[in-house]
Structure 1
């Protein structure tokens, strides 16, 4: 299905205590990709269900080892790319109705919501072609909730938030050869990653961060300009306030990071097309780009923080709303280690950050496309092992969808077997010769209606079409087998 044997490449570097498990894992991945939105049992069938169960329940099987082959294959796909973007994010799986599963923990403040959390990192090109999952970590929270005061007294290494630092360090280690050869790896994350310890963590040359700002941190503005905003209470260092009187020497000012972003140097303006929600029409937003260099001051609360200030750059894009316009202004504030010198480099920071949306699509594919929250396993370890396989399948769905957009002229026979290609040719009544035509034809089976100038098919119609194509292929093979049997009898 879409390149029969693709799973073999994804598990080539995976080590198994019993080599028979290699065949089992490959067949499980292929089966899930062919029918992504059916249950695990239905997808496997009787024979594969038993062997897959033995693999996933085996005491020596763990999620990290199962993903190792895919991780190595991802590195191979990264070869030749100057810049690799790695988006990291956290998601949770709700298994509240799966009472028999042992080892689950709370996923939010509700006492009834039980499940597990997953923190993953997805590597991609700057044009959002997903290359693979380079990190995945699963855990269940303890049943007893800790007070916020207790959590603040813990060092970062003992907190859940340490996952952002650990993942960034693992990415650095994984891409060390790429960085050593002058390549660039940009780690992007949302507001939850706005952690001083992550900014202060040592990084190899070429490893950069882009994080959406969440906190009004105390910063020292380093661009030599006195800020127009007022110095905030409690943020004046050593009891000294900047002298703003006329003729005073301009010294670096201490203020909130959010004030610094709003009062930074204007780099330019650009027009952003904003899609309308529900019944609202699309609109054009005029965005003003600002930039400044600051030093983030160490937080006073908590323990174990680096005591030195951290130099960082701030890029903001804020909508200029005309008087009387009812729309709330759009605004993005990014803190980054990427060097920004002009409008083009500032826009590049925003463009790279938007790659983070791809990992949200990845998690959507896991839950809605692969139906990950329908998994019914006996215990936490087996559940995590199964989810690690689902990660690979969800990546493959996104990869094929984007590959048709980025490299639409790839030959169809390079990713399809003859049976599937024959079915699509018959179904569409037109020759299918490229991957773009393959994806469109499969999406049409899933309800996609192409038209001139319309959007390209997305991953949702693809997974719906794959299930239908798999059923059609099974019927086709049975028909061909019946014809061969009749010919033998007649002969």
Structure 2
């Protein structure tokens, strides 16, 4: 075993996924999923020291997956003007910004690069340092804490990276900085630096964009269900094709569990048939020994609670609605399978 691992590098299978989410945070499903493998993991930092990554065509980079998923998602959803593609700092890619404009769609990305701006003699940070505070917004941090955030925003002419200025045009983009006032105890201060093609002219519009970016956390919750609930990383199939097929099934299951949990929080009084088939309703009635007066209301919340009870949820009066963990524990239990 030790000798084999030394001679054969096992790189595994990677997945880059895109999740459609409403502005209220309801996950609608995966819009794109790309699987790939790396030929090697070691030596990439040394390679960057020898080759300027900004001069390498985006098509030759692993980060090209951001553009591929964005194109696939835009084509699938079919209404580019209503879409806003949200990404973390890894998505701070100039070619991505240009491609969204070419497709007539929008983006909201957290930045990690201080790009050249204006006439090229200064950067985005230089211009934002001269921008006054336009408003203060209070947000909740955890259960018992809050933070007051200063809002700065400005429309800036952003230039393409050096070495790509002949291929890509400059773009007029909005820079939005949200930084916490003061220094909190026990945690780093909130400091979001966002870039978008959408206009931001008032504090309310800035707060709206912050709320939208906060929905990016939904993809992390989806991946948590996929990894911890479905245990996708524990699969030991022989080929990448088989593993990709299995993970695709896990993705559907993970989304449905996530969707049921979230829709139960937004519409608990809805009909259970909104998320369950007649057969599933009958099965839940039998498994949970559901006993109620025939005239009583049987809502979506009632059925999700019965499912959660199978996983140990106590359903006490002060308990919050069942979450993803308890729902996936039921799906993994033999009684539910």
1:420 aligns with 2:281: no
Q: Tell me the CA shift for residue 291 of structure 1.
A: 0.6
Q: Give aligned pairs, total.
A: 324
Counterparts of 1:454 and 1:310 in 2: how far apart (Å)?
50
Structure 2 vs 1, CA of residues 296 and 452 (structure 1 numbering), >3 Å: closer, same or farther? Answer: farther
Partner of residue 160 from structure 1, selected from 62, 80, 94: 62
Matched, 1:446 2:311: yes
Aligned pair partner of 1:271 in 128, 138, 152: 138
Q: Are 2:168 and 1:312 aligned? A: no
Aligned twin of 1:192 = 90
Q: 1:171 to 1:455 in 2, by over 3 A?
A: same
Distance 1:419 1:325 in 2: 50
Unpaired runs of 5+ residues, structure 2, are none
* Conserved 8 A contact 1:264-1:292: yes
- Distance in 1, matches of 2:310 and 2:166, equals 55
Task: Give the C-alpha shift of residue 460 in structure 1.
Answer: 1.0
TM-score calculated relative to the size of structure 2: 0.85
Alpha-carbon deviation of 1:202? 5.0
Residue of structure 1 equivalent to 2:237 = 377
Name whichever of 138-147 and 310-319 sits farther off: 138-147
Indicate if the aligned counterparts of 2:11 and 2:38 stay in contact, CA closer than 8 A. Answer: no
Check the 8 A contact 1:365/1:459 in 2, yes or no. Answer: yes
C-alpha distance in 2 between matches for 1:334 and 1:141 = 30
Bigger-Rg structure (1/2): 1
Alpha-carbon distance change, 384 to 413 in structure 1, aligned in 2, over 3 angstroms: closer
For residues 9 and 131 of structure 2, the distance between their equivalents in structure 1, rounded to whole angstroms, comes to 46
Q: Is the counterpart of residue 123 in structure 1 residue 5 in structure 2?
A: no
Q: Is it true that 1:457 corresponds to 2:322 in the alignment?
A: yes
Which position in structure 2 is the counterpart of 1:367? 227
Specify the alignment match of 1:300 in structure 2: 162
Return closer, same or farther for 1:385/1:269 CA change in 2, 3 Å cut-off.
same
- SS of structure 1 residue aligned to 2:125: helix
Deviation at 1:192, TM superposition (A): 0.2
Alignment of 1:358 onto 2:247 = no
Structure 2 distance, partners of 1:326, 1:465, is 36
Q: What is residue 300 of structure 2 aligned with on the other side?
A: 435
CA shift for structure 1 position 164: 1.0
The aligned runs of 1:102-113 (5 Å cut-off) are none
Alignment of 1:18-417 (within 5 A): 114-143=11-40, 145=43, 147-148=47-48, 149-150=50-51, 152=53, 153-176=55-78, 178-179=79-80, 184-201=82-99, 203=101, 207-220=105-118, 236=121, 254-255=122-123, 257-275=124-142, 282-301=144-163, 306-321=167-182, 328-412=188-272, 415=276, 416-417=280-281
SS in 2 for 1:329: coil
Q: Distance in 1 between matches of 2:39 and 2:92?
A: 24
Structure-2 separation of matches of 1:297 and 1:119: 28
Structure 1 residues 399 and 422, CA gap change in structure 2 (3 angstroms): same
- CA shift for structure 1 position 369: 0.7
1:239 is matched with: none
| Alpha-carbon contact 2:9-2:40 (below 8 Å) kept | no
1:347-401 deviation line (CA, Å, top 9, x unaligned): 1111111111111111111111111012121111111122111111111111111
Measure, in 1, the Cα distance between the counterparts of 2:27 and 2:267: 13
Q: Aligned equivalents of 1:375 and 1:305: distance in 2?
A: 46
* TM-score (structure 1 length as normaliser): 0.60
CA-to-aligned-CA distance 1:176-225 (integer Å, 9 cap, x gap): 3x24xxx510100000010111122253575110000111222239xxxx
**Cα distance change of structure 1 residues 332 and 371 upon mapping to structure 2, 3 Å threshold:** same
Give the secondary structure class of the aligned counterpart of 2:215: helix
RMSD: 3.1
**Distance in structure 1 (CA, Å) of the matches to 2:291 and 2:228:** 26
Q: Following the alignment from structure 1 to structure 2, what is the Cα–Cα distance between the partners of residues 437 and 305?
A: 61
Q: Offset of 1:447 from its aligned partner? A: 3.0
The structure, 1 or 2, with the larger RCO (C-alpha pairs under 8 Å, 6+ apart) is 1
Post-superposition shift, 1:115? 1.3
CA–CA distance in structure 1, aligned partners of residues 158 and 141 of structure 2: 32
- Could you tell me whether the CA contact under 8 Å between 1:446 and 1:465 is conserved in 2? yes
